[in-house]
Chain A
Amino acid sequence: MSEVLLASLRLSVDLAGRTVLDGVALTVSAGEVVAVVGANGAGKTTLLRACAGLLPEATGDLTLGGVDPRQTAPEKLVRLRAYAPQHPTSAWDYTLAELGTLASSAAEFRHWQERFGLHELTARKLSELSGGERKLAHLSLTFSALGDAYGKVLLLDEPTTALDLCRAELVGRAIRASAQAGAAVLVCTHDLAWARTCERVLVLSEGRLVSAGPPSTALTAELVRATWGVA
């Protein structure tokens, strides 16, 4: 039985007087890749941000790597989890090499940069990269922050958005490799085909967890119809 690295119970978030996440319970164990799916506005990003410790106002029980991320200093949290936002931004036009210096390990960043096929773009500024290349550059930062993946939690918000098939495949392999190295991975995605390759799927609708389990049972055609309104 693998160690549970991320767990929540009755996790709720109210933003601007609206309940965005309502009593979500989840567990993600080492070596597991769990997909979070749901229509736009279902609460996927909020769930991921709460798990990353970005929403101190979240209520309910939450444990990440044995600590409550809402009560833990960022310099300690960085050793327990890595997070990639859906829309990475940069106020300044860093080159890829400069971006790498912001990583906790420049060598790790270079490793992921090469793995994602960005090694020839080191001198390029972010504004000179395509949307997909920019996304991969920021993902390199996230994966390098994970370092030795064993016992850590990887939180990815739509990591393959803006990527072509080949690069989405590269990211998929990186996610799988991190899990095999002992990380617990939680991924928000709209790609239901990819979600079906994960160990488990969580389906959110209007902030509530409406289905959870292996894809074959949690992501039935009936549920897809009911949640997304499509066949």
Chain B
Amino acid sequence: MKGHVGTLAFAALLLALLALAALACGSAGFGWGTNGELFMLRLPRVLAALAAGLALGLGGANQQGVFRNPLADPGLTGVFGGALLGIALLLAGATEFTWNHRWALPAAAFGGALATSAVLVWLGRGRSTTKLLLTGLGLNAFTAAGTLLIAARFPEARDILVNGAAGDWLGTATLELAWLPILGCILAALLLLTQASGLDRLALGEDMAFCLGTDVAQTRRQGVLLTALAAAAAICLVGQVAFIGLLAPHLARALVGPRHRAMLPLAGLLGAGLLLLADTLGRSLWPQTPISAAAMTALLGAPAFVWIASRRHE
């Protein structure tokens, strides 16, 4: 860990510079803009992207550790889809209640993410991690279909759900709406950091992890629960976005090695940086026709996914 402190500090410094650059990027070009523009529009958006990216990077690293597979990503294994379906069900069933209670959306997202995670673990029990991932991909498609069905049946929720499915919620972030999910992301991130030792041993297989003193079932349970929390909090800020949870841990592992004590915090920092970069590029490259953060991350992430998959020997 000692040798990696410098890398972590450098990543934090780069992230701070990127955040400043993102704050200075506006629709009219580079500059701080008016106070209202800076503090009411850009600051909440930047904070939301940083918090969501942090949670996604750590959530992805955690899920990869729990599933012992570098291709796991809450955005691909249905956890995100479940969170969005939870939101869709709440909006369809209790629209007024949803907007009157700020905690309702994050709670529904957490319920959806947790339910999907439980189904994923139940359907994938006793199977190889590859089959578990395939099960996750199926769940992802199923939850996406469920969300779109609800969007079609409930016109009042259609726009918000379609934008959520496209990962295009960052533009609507206000401090009033975002503070609770931001706190959720930070809480999930801090708790995920405590999983390092269990995840390290789990890498050696369940038998060895158990024999080295790790409570495997508890590590898995906590991993699933905390990933669901991270995904739920992040989705309330961004909408559905894949690949951050895949790319950030992979890059972190390449930079500081696979030990989770150094890899987890770096994956969080890289996740925050990647999402913020994707969002800033998406809204700055063509200001008249902005691209969602999810579309930008997919443009970067899909080729990386194919590359990682082609390198994996299984």
Contact = CB atoms under 8 A, between A and B. Distances in A.
Contacts of B203: 90-92, 94
Interface string B60-75: 0000010011000000
Given A90-B203, A91-B203, A102 B257 contact: no
A83 B253 CA distance: 28
A22 to B, nearest CB: 22
A104 B215 contact: no
Most buried by A among B205, B215, B216: B205
B16 interface: no
A88 B258 contact: no
A82 B207 CA distance: 11
A224 to B, nearest CB: 30
B44 to A, nearest CB: 37
A91 B257 CA distance: 13
Contacts of B200: 101-102
B202 to A, nearest CB: 8
B257 A145 contact: no
A67 to B, nearest CB: 15
Interface residues of B, number: 22
Given A88-B205, A90-B204, A92-B258, A145 B210 contact: no
Interface in B197-216: 200-205, 207-208, 210-216
Contacts of A82: 211
Contact of A98 (B65, B68, B216, B258): B258
B212 A145 contact: yes
Per CB-CB distance, the 10 closest pairs between chain A and chain B, nearest first, are A92-B258, A78-B213, A91-B68, A83-B211, A91-B203, A75-B213, A92-B203, A89-B205, A74-B213, A74-B210
Given A54-B211, A138-B204, 14 more contacts: A74-B211, A74-B216, A83-B207, A85-B207, A89-B205, A90-B204, A91-B202, A91-B204, A95-B257, A98-B257, A98-B258, A102-B212, A104-B212, A145-B212
5 contacts: A53-B210, A74-B216, A77-B213, A78-B212, A95-B257
